[in-house]
Structure 1
Amino acid sequence: MFRQVVTPDIRLIIRGLFILLTIIAVGVGIVEYQMATLTHRPAQDIFAYRVVVTIANYLIPVPMKIETYFSRLAYWFTIWQQQFVEEAFSAKKAAGEYWKQSKPYIEAAMHNLRIKTRQGVQQMDEYIREYR
């Protein structure tokens, strides 16, 4: 009825448990922060900053309070935004130049198309008059 668990399955289970614990720890931190901002109270520290997990005589400390600084990430997002805006403006300028170069050809083609269309309509009118 029960089968022995294979080593890759154990690794997969342990990895899943660590991911679950990480998600829970991050979620608790986010909830604490949100509650502190909503109630306008200073952030309360957790009574224990770390949880120590013991697996097969190995002690694995898991941090419960994770501090992140997004200033470097914000710096790179700002640089990326500036590059994006500069590229967008240069692409707009290039598209305008292409339009200025191709506009006479497009207008000439449209003029010829109008003439051909009028001629076709006139021929159709003549054929219709002949058959009446």
Structure 2
Amino acid sequence: MRLWPGFLRFVLAVLVAGLVWVLGPGAAWVLEHFDGVRGLASKDLAAALDAIRGRALAIATGLIALVAVYYTARNAATACRIFELSEQGQVTDRYTKAIEQLGSDKLNIRLGGIYALERIARDSG
């Protein structure tokens, strides 16, 4: 799994290079080879090249949005796991303190420990 970030960097570099190429001289090649358009006048050729570049930018924007959604979902899942771990740690601390209170010599502190354990049981159920 160590190669995965390197692979993603490679794919990203290829996509960026392809986008730069299509926005530059590659637009005419795409127009001729993919769209099959040849022999346009200068005004029509400029409009067709702008349309190719617009398509390329729209595709790039969509891919960037997909990547952003993926990383946002991944970060949200990580935040949920961290919150759950933090919550479990708080319950453990409350439980430990309640058990310590049960060992006290004073009745009111022992009763507080019993009530704390009851509250923990109610919150956990």
TM-score by length of 2: 0.32
> Which of these two proteins has the greater Rg computed from alpha carbons?
1
Give the structure with the higher percent strand: 1
Give the structure with the higher percent helix: 2
TM-score by length of 1: 0.31
